[in-house]
Structure 1
Amino acid sequence: MPGCCSDCAACWAAWRASWERSVKRSSLTVCMEPSHADWGLLTDTRRGCWSILARAATIGHRSSMRFPHRRLASMLRSRSAALAVGAAVLVTVVVANQPHDEVIGHPQSAAAASTVRADHRAATPPLRTLQRRVEFGDASAAHSGAPAIAADTGILIDLDTRSIIWERNPHLAHAPASTTKLVSTLVALVNYAPDRQVTITADALHQAGDETVMGIHAGETYPVADLLAGMLLISGNDAATALAVDTVGMDRFVAAMNAQIGALGLHDSHFTTPVGLDDPAQRSSAYDLAAVATVAEDMFPTFRQLVSTIDMQLPAAPGHPGFALHNLNRLLSLYPPTIGVKPGYTGNAGPCLVAEALREGHHMIGVLLGAPHLYSDMRSLLDWGFTQKGLRPMVTPPPAPPPPPPARRPHR
């Protein structure tokens, strides 16, 4: 302590006693008595905050910053000094209780930092949801002549009129695979600024596993925008898990995903992870995924930019390396009108794709889940949809199969 020694317990105890007496004598109302834990944190951080206390104390006594502790009690008899020092102590309590990455010059062990981060997450307010109900018109007026599609479930929507022009079991519960990340992305876009920094933990990487990863490592720090790029372009499970675990925690993030589905007026989905790995309790539908993609496209330019990008370079920055990302959505190259959105695959789900296309001012979105001929069928379906708007087909339909040979009459 100034005027004595930096780690003198007796000086610190005397300082605390003087502060308590001064507060009792003053009209200062303290909203919360510092606990023993708070005083311990103050002791740990007093080196960084002493200048604040010393400057405040000089309001009542314009002497040197370095004063003996025996003069502190007399200085605090001034109400202005007591108020100033009391306020400074409260500031110190707040600073001492900040997470590790917000306290400058105060090293912590990895375990302590993890505990502080967990406590900080528990104190964060609930995640917001985007309140916007989505409904698509009835398919009763759907056109005939659609191509043959091999898929468990699917839907094609004319976004100009928000009407369904083709469907197959659109509300059937189905494993969504990595199209789940559309919902994870929507939750992140609603709640996090693109430049918010996220420090990756080993816990997040452990929960993500090693299938389909962006390649991030524990201890690295990334802006939310980079993690979203890793999720949407190369379907990085590590990026998606970090956005959940290293912000508010997995349980709260997944709860926000399900709350967001409800806020959109959708009823077919339930999520247990932000990545889409197979889980018997995790399900969605072609209808719900089309609605989520439509809202994200309508509301967030960042989303539109990412899902329409074929190749992206993320430059290296302090705290993380650079990345070269290539979009896994092959339809961006196979069908030029395509402007997004996201493929997926797991053993239970099979090949899945949410795709959006824009041609001559007309806008379509299609979803196929469990589709063995995923890209060829989606290309044919979207192209057929545009012909219903009066446009010429871009995709040559497959030749009709030859007629079967005539049956031979049996010899008599």
Structure 2
Amino acid sequence: MKRVTALSAVALAGSLTFMAPGAARASEHETAPVGGPLMGQRGVVVAPGARPLPKAGASSFVVADADTGQVLAAKDPHGRYLPASTLKALTALTLIPKLDKDKIVKPSQEACNVEGSAVGLTPRRIYKVHDLLRALMMVSGNDAAVALAETNGGVAKTLADMNAEARRLQALDTVAKTPNGLDKPGQSSSAYDLALIARAGLANGDFREYVGTKTAKFPAPGGKHYEMANHNRLLGRYAGMIGVKNGWTSKAMGSFVGAARRDGHTIIVSVMRHESSFWDEVKDLLDWGFAARGQVAPVGTLVGPVPKAKPTKPVGGPATPAPVSTPEPLAAGRTGLDTGILVLVVGALGGAAWLMYGMRRRARAGRDAAPTPAAPGPD
């Protein structure tokens, strides 16, 4: 197959193979879909000449080259679905930089009573943040997610932080309503967003450790420990599997986002709303991605995070953020000059007023008649 070096998604629009019907659509937040115009398709989109895609029962999927950010194939990539526990990847990515991994945590009774998959917390001060992050990503601990949110200042604050992180990553289909992915009205993500989140997570060493650990000891009361095993069935069974996160609820159905690395290259696969077991299909999509990488034209791009605003540094002073509402900073010395003139003007007006007041008092003191009303002045 001829190697493709550079082709834009726009140029391919007239010749791509659409394997399922679907009109193009833009994200609710953008005039064009994030990642390129072809990412707005509801059906399967892949470049012509590519080897046939494996059969996939997911309502949505993305196959991407994590190294270049190229989306190699997709189906309804921006379709919004319930993410189930794949949302925990965003929870971990948000909280890892914010929490001291050695901090000791005492979970609330509310955290310990959370429904669904759990690591089995008790309201005792025996857990480190490190333990809870392991439980979050290895055994999908819904209780661990709430305990971590409490440690971060509460569930409401953590959800605000998670949604801010999603916006920073340009994962605009993602709305977090729970820190653990349990279904809640208004909560959503997309296969495209899950790929973005996983790619950002893989750049963090702690994140990679948590998603790639097969087994680990977890604290129990009385100074004891028990062993927990990662729920990702591809760890140790698929060559090069790095891991990330799987999820399932009765409403969301099956979902998964993960990555594998072979011969120095990393492929990301995300699937959403799969009605049965997706593990074999994920393996087939990963195999397809490794074979297609560098050989087919990309149909989109995993975009980078929103760049942080650069602070300005006044001469001789500490760095301060640039004014948001001012397109260009004021010229150096302009503010000080204006302030000096204002002080001189105010001082002159005050002195003149005091002089007039003194003259009027002396004039009134030398007269026997009633004083003459003063001339009107500024309020």
TM-score clears 0.5: yes
Decide which of 187, 197, 216 is 2:104's aligned counterpart: 197
Q: 1:181 matched to which residue of 2?
A: 88
Distance 1:177 1:320, change over 3 A: farther
Distance 1:246 1:191, change over 3 A: closer
Secondary structure of residue in 1 paired with 2:186: coil
Decide which of 128, 134, 140 is 1:235's aligned counterpart: 140
Which stretches in structure 2 are left out of the alignment for 5+ residues? 1-33, 39-44, 296-379
1:283-337 per-residue CA deviation (whole Å, 9 max, x = no partner) reads 1011111111111111x21111121121112366x98642311000001133122
1:252-309 per-residue CA deviation (whole Å, 9 max, x = no partner) reads 11111111111112210111100111112111011111111111111x2111112112
1:97-130 per-residue CA deviation (whole Å, 9 max, x = no partner) reads xxxxxxxxxxxxxxxxxxxxxxxxxxxxxxxxxx
The answer to whether the 8 Å contact 1:222/1:320 transfers is no
Distance 1:172 1:389, change over 3 A: closer
Q: 1:348 matched to which residue of 2?
A: 251
1:49-90 per-residue CA deviation (whole Å, 9 max, x = no partner) reads xxxxxxxxxxxxxxxxxxxxxxxxxxxxxxxxxxxxxxxxxx
Decide which of 204, 209, 218 is 1:305's aligned counterpart: 209
The answer to whether the 8 Å contact 1:220/1:319 transfers is no
Secondary structure of residue in 1 paired with 2:235: helix
Corresponding residue pairs, total: 253
Q: 1:330 matched to which residue of 2?
A: 233
Percent of paired sites with the same residue: 35
Confirm whether residue 225 of structure 1 aligns to residue 130 of structure 2: yes
Q: 1:257 matched to which residue of 2?
A: 162
Instruction: Tell me which amino acid in the other structure corresponds to 1:304.
Output: R
The answer to whether the 8 Å contact 2:174/2:193 transfers is yes
Confirm whether residue 280 of structure 1 aligns to residue 185 of structure 2: yes
The answer to whether the 8 Å contact 2:104/2:125 transfers is no
Q: 1:405 matched to which residue of 2?
A: none
Cα deviation, residue 150, structure 1: 1.0
Secondary structure of residue in 2 paired with 1:302: helix
Cα deviation, residue 220, structure 1: 2.9
Q: 1:5 matched to which residue of 2?
A: none
Distance 1:224 1:337, change over 3 A: same
Distance 1:137 1:334, change over 3 A: farther
Q: 2:260 matched to which residue of 1?
A: 357
* Bigger shift: residues 329-338 or 183-192: 329-338
Secondary structure of residue in 1 paired with 2:286: helix
1:152-178 per-residue CA deviation (whole Å, 9 max, x = no partner) reads 111010112210001000100000000
CA distance in 2, matches of 1:266, 1:315: 35
Q: 2:150 matched to which residue of 1?
A: 245
Q: 1:157 matched to which residue of 2?
A: 64
Confirm whether residue 269 of structure 1 aligns to residue 174 of structure 2: yes
Decide which of 169, 172, 185 is 2:76's aligned counterpart: 169
Q: 2:292 matched to which residue of 1?
A: 388
Instruction: Tell me which amino acid in the other structure corresponds to 1:216.
Output: L
Confirm whether residue 290 of structure 1 aligns to residue 195 of structure 2: yes
Q: Which has the higher contact order (CA 8 A, sep 6+)?
A: 2
Q: 1:379 matched to which residue of 2?
A: 283
In the superposition, the TM-score normalised over structure 1's length comes to: 0.58
Kindly report which structure 2 residues correspond to 1:312-327, keeping only aligned pairs within 5 A, or say none.
312-314=216-218, 321-327=224-230
The answer to whether the 8 Å contact 1:157/1:165 transfers is yes
Instruction: Tell me which amino acid in the other structure corresponds to 2:241.
Output: T
CA distance in 1, matches of 2:151, 2:96: 16
In the superposition, the TM-score normalised over structure 2's length comes to: 0.63
Q: 1:401 matched to which residue of 2?
A: none
Instruction: Tell me which amino acid in the other structure corresponds to 2:73.
Output: W
Distance 1:386 1:291, change over 3 A: same
The answer to whether the 8 Å contact 1:136/1:162 transfers is no
CA distance in 2, matches of 1:381, 1:155: 9
The answer to whether the 8 Å contact 1:201/1:246 transfers is no
CA distance in 2, matches of 1:199, 1:177: 26
Q: 1:120 matched to which residue of 2?
A: none
